[in-house]
Amino acid sequence: MNNPNAMPMLPMNVGTIQDYIDMGRLDPTKQITLKSMVEAGMAKVNGIKHGIKLLAKGKERLNSPLNILVSRASTSAIEAVEAAGGQVTTVHYNKLALRALLLPHKFDIIPRQARPPPRLMEYYTDWNKRGYLSPQAQMRNLLQQKAQNESGSTD
């Protein structure tokens, strides 16, 4: 039986991300997005249908603090990244937003990102899943922007 509402995610392990950092194909000092994973050769553009799910396999090798944006993340993967001093944010991408993220040269004007449908809203507003719409994640982003603005104005 096929589920017409299924949203299969491309699995990506924390250990694989660390391997690509060790090879020098990913920069751990910059935010790691789906686009940076594709550019590093970790996934193909046409292989990402609904996003990437971060999994914890290889978490014992993670030694770089990562700032990573993915579509979904397992609880153990979130714990592994945060134990290494990084942060995970889960972000919803509809098909148009995913295409605009991965292939921005195909658009004259980049469309605004759509909010998640009601059936997914609970996931992306849950701080335990590090949803980008949770009040804690939004506050974290505001504090980071404020810190960047203050450090930028003193230079």
Predicted confidence (pLDDT) per residue in 74-117, tens digit? 999 999 999 999 999 999 999 999 999 999 999 999 998 899 99
Mean pLDDT for the chain overall: 91
Checking if the pLDDT of 154 tops 60, the result is no
DSSP code of residue 114: P
- Extract long-range pairs of 57-61: CB within 8 Å, 24+ residues apart: 57/13, 57/14, 57/15, 57/16, 58/13, 58/14, 58/15, 58/16, 58/18, 58/19, 59/14, 59/15, 60/15, 61/14, 61/15, 61/18, 61/19
Per-residue model confidence as pLDDT tens digits over 17-44: 999 999 999 999 999 999 999 999 999 9
Which amino acid is present at 61?
A: R
The two three-digit tokens of residue 48, written as one number: 């990402």
Checking if the pLDDT of 55 tops 80, the result is yes
Q: pTM of the full predicted structure?
A: 0.87
Residue 60 pLDDT class (50, 70, 90 cuts) = confident
Checking if the pLDDT of 1 tops 80, the result is no
Query: Which residues 6+ apart lie within 8 Å of 132 measured at CB?
Result: 69, 89, 90, 91, 92, 124, 138
10-153 belongs to which CATH class? alpha beta
Q: Are 102 and 38 in contact (CB under 8 A)?
A: yes
Checking if the pLDDT of 131 tops 70, the result is yes
Checking if the pLDDT of 126 tops 80, the result is yes
Max CA distance (Å), the chain: 60
Amino acid 5: pLDDT:
79
